[in-house]
Chain A
């Protein structure tokens, strides 16, 4: 079975779905129209070619054949993560961690297309659930995430400090009590969230 084509097909569908939800993508795509960009990630069994029109077609290239793509980028998966920080690019190229050939504008426009996706999730959710529910869900989601983050960060500090005083048995006790407290708060938060979701569901059912 052609596994590579299964992967490129999945990538293509996902990418185009995301671009469809981004009202600014049309303009960004227009700049790329007619161009092709090859991305060869060392760890990937095949290089991908992104072919731009009013959408993006994802093709599989052959490493044994010379590519005709307008811009070619070769890098490892680790470098891919660093790429977001544009101040690093010169260093990456100098170190040969990133090989860029051809029209650099294509690479820039492509990276803009991907990293600056502007998707209004609330808007898209509302098409499924209705405006009010979507808004509430998004707000709840955001505040839950914020609270979780806060909890995790305090927990990490506590644990970090605890680790320093490893030998003091008393500290352990305090830690455990504190931990249990936090779990309790979390539990009641979760219960409240659950009730809220049930309420929303009922509301949706009545619509």
Chain B
């Protein structure tokens, strides 16, 4: 499979660093996955994603505000509103990065509850830990470096699991969803906040221009790193749409799955229960 095949809609999708891109070996399809629009060896994706978040960690919060014009805060608030979090709950904020959701959960679940901020990337985890400590959020929060595909927790541990803007970076999403299902308590719920498919054609076009042209430029200007933001834009486009993701959640056992489109479907919040 070649670059040009998956990126025919947009020539800027082909970036430098072609040495990490696998060649035209059709037979290798099984062992490959996508990294943005590129096809890469499956076992390489995790470390490539790690590199992206390693390089954006320090500027991550600033870029988030800038890229989404602050709206990501409202998307995250909506996620919390749908979580049903209460005092005493045990919450896993998976791919939690710099800990926006974890911070709020920590207040809500109180001293009898517990929040675990988990991320595969140590650099992001460190930025998150420093940020939360500075905010005075300590005591009921723990930091765990973990891969969403193989969660290092016993079965039936959490009342709530959130994964915000994280699932699209995971290599084997089905495996990750199954792992989340396993560690969720019966009665618990999973919330997946992720970029999705805009409902409206026009919005979709405008969004394309924004993410493929403006976003990498902003990344270049602010974080001096256009490639990482190029990857973000591409990974958003490769992520399963609303119905597909809902189907994937159903397939691993989640029940009463549903989703809400936010900001015209640019982002969607999926919710599923384990009973």
CB <8 Å contact, A8 and B86: no
Interface set, chain B 80-125, CB cutoff 8 A to A: 80-82, 84, 86-88, 104, 107-108, 110-112
In the bound complex, residues from chain A placing their C-beta under 8 Å from that of B73 are 9
Q: A1 and B86 in contact (CB under 8 A), knowing A8-B77, A9-B77?
A: no
Q: A174 vs B108: C-alpha distance in the bound complex, in angstroms?
A: 65
Chain B 176-199 per-residue mask, 1 if CB under 8 angstroms from chain A, else 0 = 000000000000000000000000
Query: Among B71, B88, B108, B111, which residue has its beta carbon within 8 angstroms of that of A57?
Result: B108
In the bound complex, residues from chain B placing their C-beta under 8 Å from that of A36 are 86-87
Q: A114 vs B213: C-alpha distance in the bound complex, in angstroms?
A: 48
CB <8 Å contact, B108 and A53: yes
CB distance from B16 to the nearest CB of A (A): 36
CB <8 Å contact, B263 and A2: yes
CB <8 Å contact, A33 and B110: yes
Chain A 21-61 per-residue mask, 1 if CB under 8 angstroms from chain B, else 0 = 00000000000011110000000000000010111010111
Q: Interface size of A by Cβ–Cβ distance < 8 Å? A: 21
Q: A57 vs B112: C-alpha distance in the bound complex, in angstroms?
A: 17
Which secondary structure characterizes the binding site on chain B?
A: helix
CB <8 Å contact, B84 and A68: yes
Q: Is A5 an interface residue (CB 8 A)?
A: yes
CB <8 Å contact, A51 and B107: yes
Interface set, chain A 1-17, CB cutoff 8 A to B: 1-2, 4-6, 8-9
Q: A34 and B74 in contact (CB under 8 A), knowing A2-B262, A2-B263, A5-B81?
A: no
CB distance from B84 to the nearest CB of A (A): 7
CB <8 Å contact, A1 and B74: yes
CB <8 Å contact, A2 and B86: no
Q: Is B75 an interface residue (CB 8 A)?
A: yes
Given A9-B74, A59-B77, list of 14 further CB < 8 A pairs?
A: A1-B74, A2-B74, A2-B78, A2-B262, A4-B78, A5-B75, A5-B78, A33-B110, A34-B112, A53-B110, A57-B104, A57-B107, A59-B80, A59-B81
